[in-house]
Amino acid sequence: MAFLGLGLWLLTGDNWWRYFLGFSFVESAVFTSPITSAYGFSFGIAILGINSISTGSPNNINTKYIQTRVLALLAATALIFTLFLLCINFEVKIFLSDFLLHASWRQAGSIKGIILFFKLMTEYYGPVLNVPSYILFLLIAIIVFQKRHFIPVYLKILFVGLTTGMVLNMFLYGLALWFNFFFVWLGIVCIVSKIGGAKQRLYAAIMVLIIYLSSQSLNIISLAGREYLPSAKYQQIREAFLAKPNRKYAIDEVAARFVFDYKLPKNSIDLTFMGPVNAPLLSAKDKPSDVTWIASTHRLAMQYPELNIKYPRVEFLGRSFNSLPKKPFELTVIP
């Protein structure tokens, strides 16, 4: 997302070198996280359209103007694709095979996105945060359509690009709906800040701040009550691994970061991919005897309740939050 944000910002500058850098970062975002392609495509087209309109007269968009931008796109594509080939050691066939395998593990396709959307509206903070936000976004969309002659062209294009990106993202990957909340409020703030007076802009800013703090309340509480483990704990696990280097290991992202520093052994596999594609998760009794699990204590406790693993929860103002582990990076080894 950082690559995407930086790339789109660079594209707002209408000159060849910013186009080159902008296209480079947007394409880097797509190569590193393909689900960003929805917003990259929709926002990219919107920004290019805004830049073209900003030039003023159509006579300003001559052959040289178009050629320069197209060459910037082609040069960026050639550079990023070359870097991509170097990163995969030019093993395109193996990469595509792995990519398609991981794609088959998608936990929420476009159809499931509809179910997830309903869940987001009705569960957790949904009725309080999501429902009012989406209703307000819909009202803003109606205002943009009805008052289109009074709203700047660039803002209308950006709003359409934003809406298109949210829809495309849902079809590309259903779980992307979790991130739509941010983009919904991005659209609301952009429109309100332009069509309202000083008071409306102030109210919009206050509302956004309240909504943001409310939506991030669990993260804020988690950060306030979080405890970190000493590095010696991870070193002990690593030494145990080094003592049996030929054994198979199933690990998660916490073990990959704190134990292996992302230098993963060849005989390891992500714990998520232990079972067959599109099948229920393995139970603890199905664990192969020749595989050792090294994973977050919280994850193992939630995913395999039959293990009866206990872990401390975050406490805040006298209340214990069962969904927030006090030591989120604590690891448990299941030999």
Residue 248 lies in a domain: yes
Please tell me whether residues 37 and 114 are part of one structural domain: no
Please tell me whether residues 171 and 244 are part of one structural domain: no
Residue 104 lies in a domain: no
What is the sign, positive or negative, of the torsion defined by CA atoms of 98, 104, 106, 107? negative
Which one of 167, 191, 215 terminates a domain? 215
Cβ-proximal residues to 51 (8 Å cutoff; 6+ apart), any chain: 11, 12, 14
Confidence of residue 118 (pLDDT cuts 50, 70, 90): confident
Q: Are 24 and 7 in contact (CB under 8 A)?
A: yes
Residue 91 lies in a domain: yes
Please tell me whether residues 204 and 250 are part of one structural domain: no
- Which residue type is seen at 112? K
Which one of 46, 80, 99 terminates a domain? 99
Please tell me whether residues 71 and 120 are part of one structural domain: no
Residue 223 lies in a domain: no
CA–CA dist 181, 130 (Å, integer):
7
Specify the pLDDT at position 107.
57
Beta bridge partners of 65: none
Please tell me whether residues 47 and 119 are part of one structural domain: no
Specify the pLDDT at position 76.
93
Q: Are 108 and 175 in contact (CB under 8 A)?
A: yes
Residue 295: which of 240, 334, 260 has the closest Cα? 334
Specify the pLDDT at position 333.
92
Residue 147: pLDDT over 70: yes
Lowest mean pLDDT among 77-81, 118-122, 176-180, 284-288: 176-180
Which one of 73, 99, 125 terminates a domain? 99
285-to-16, 248, 276, 288 alpha-carbon distances in Å? 60, 17, 16, 8
Number of domains, the chain: 3
Specify the pLDDT at position 56.
60
Q: What is the mean pLDDT of residues 20-35?
A: 89
Residue 224 lies in a domain: no
Please tell me whether residues 152 and 211 are part of one structural domain: yes
Percentage with pLDDT > 90 across the chain: 15
Please tell me whether residues 209 and 295 are part of one structural domain: no
Please tell me whether residues 206 and 270 are part of one structural domain: no
Residue 105 lies in a domain: no
Residue 221 lies in a domain: no
Confidence of residue 312 (pLDDT cuts 50, 70, 90): confident
Please tell me whether residues 329 and 246 are part of one structural domain: yes
Question: Would you give the distance in Å from CA 16 to the centre of its chain?
Answer: 29
Higher pLDDT, 108 or 94: 94
Specify the pLDDT at position 289.
85
Residue 225 lies in a domain: no
Please tell me whether residues 48 and 116 are part of one structural domain: no
Its domain, for residue 35, covers: 2-99
